[in-house]
Chain A
């Protein structure tokens, strides 16, 4: 199996990375893993459910702020606070998703964007709780997890478990039915699927894992800011998923790798030109490689559309 061999190589490389790479690159890899999880959660909706959200930063931010507030204001330990992040994000996704899945296509995207901006505004304005524009600082994990290598292993472990769960969901009966809804909602109804409810459940799952990514990012970053919920942040998983390939499960993770490495390479030399470069790359990928970078791996195996 192409998939399991690639996975094995990836795991071994990830495990030995701290032995050979300086801290900076471990931090880069940590961020890649977290953004990869965020984009994979986002792509459960876009790639497998056919729903494009323009407001997923909301659930990422709900996770990040939940983590920061529990640790800073309630004095919870990190290991207890982190499991709460997907729960709060899922609750937000359930509340907003209830309205969002009633619409399709452009209207779905616009309403998700609107709810995202509401979350941003609340965070920005509620100074007493969230610190407003100043954010919440000093949200560090305990000493044992604070070194780049330790947090790298920790984040990788959590992301690995989450990715495994998402992969299982995609291959489950729920995932099959979700793909059926994407392919043909009308036909899906006539095999007995409640299309709206199925989309809502997918939306909540996607929101939950986005929140977990947000929680991991809060402790990685050591601080949280309202920008986490801003709509520009919502385009990050979209761009990352498009780069890697929305039609395969591994695409968004590959896209996160490409995105972060390119960002580092370009921004280091010409920080001003990074957005221009990114835009050009996205255009080229969409036109030349509609299946994203994983499309380069060939049509069979893990890159095959509709499969994983």
Chain B
């Protein structure tokens, strides 16, 4: 079972923790007893070759998929099996691998709606929503660099801008921990570093804890404080970027290539 032993008792400063998280699809074990401990303020990358179980692991944590066994703790509370909307209320924010926004709402309305829900006004059927949390929403758009496009229908923005908007939507719920599933998918290399630089900046300024998956090793080594490597559904290695880069097991699963060899060392924060 990989159940919690006494040595895995939850310290108070862990924002997100999984213990023995497991999931199979038929005969395939996609996630095989993952223990993950993310302290407050961490900027954690989860990497691994294709099929390592990154996305499945993400979906287990966020309640999109039901896990077979194990536990998920959010700020010390067991949240295993809670539906997504309750996880969101308890401070788990996320973005999706495929951009997920409210396409026919304006950019501003996207963020306003998230704020209305965060402030639990979403059953109010009398107030004029247009005027509520406008400044707060504009502040978040400013933060992600979209304040100039607030009135646009969000679906016509560029792909990169839609990803920024999704970030603003997720931030509007004031999460304790933000899970980003391949936040830079489909972006040009330069845009990727910009976006993750933005995420790192927000995390630094607000103390937000971020967990992200990413394929681009340049981005990972330039952004992450710590890295967890998944392989065949289990944790293969975990540590600071330099440790992970030097880890021989990690190098082996990445087909013998030194991991992130083209990443400039000075880029690591």
Contacts and interface: CB of A to CB of B under 8 A. Distances in A.
Contact of B85 (A173, A175, A192): A192
B132 interface: yes
Given A177-B122, A190-B62, A191-B169, A172 B85 contact: no
A192 B123 contact: no
Contact of A180 (B105, B128, B153): B105
B83 interface: yes
Nearest to A205: B125
Interface string B199-243: 000000000000000000000000000000000000000000000
Interface string B82-123: 011100110001101000111111100100111011100111
B126 A176 contact: no
A171 B128 contact: yes
A184 interface: yes
A195 B121 contact: no
B83 A179 contact: no
B114 A191 contact: yes
B128 A191 contact: no
Contacts of A194: 85
A183 B102 contact: yes
A306 interface: yes
Interface centre among A187, A189, A205, A305 (most CB of B within 10 A): A187
Contacts of A195: 85
A246 B166 CA distance: 27
A183 B104 contact: yes
Contact of B125 (A172, A188, A191, A305): A172
A168 B127 CA distance: 8
A175 B125 contact: yes
Nearest to A166: B125
Contact of B93 (A184, A190, A306): A190
A184 B129 contact: no
A174 interface: yes
B158 interface: no
Contacts of A145: none
Contact of B118 (A184, A189, A192, A201): A192
B32 interface: no
A193 interface: yes
Interface of A: 168-169, 171-177, 179-180, 183-184, 186-195, 198, 201, 205, 305-306
Complex A-B, nearest 9 residue pairs according to Cβ-Cβ distance, in ascending order: A183-B102, A189-B84, A177-B122, A174-B125, A306-B104, A192-B88, A191-B114, A173-B116, A187-B100
Given A176-B116, A176-B129, A191-B169, 13 more contacts: A172-B128, A175-B125, A180-B113, A183-B103, A183-B104, A186-B64, A186-B84, A190-B62, A190-B94, A190-B173, A191-B117, A191-B172, A306-B106
15 contacts: A168-B128, A172-B127, A176-B105, A176-B122, A180-B113, A187-B100, A188-B102, A190-B88, A190-B93, A190-B170, A191-B113, A192-B88, A195-B85, A205-B125, A305-B153
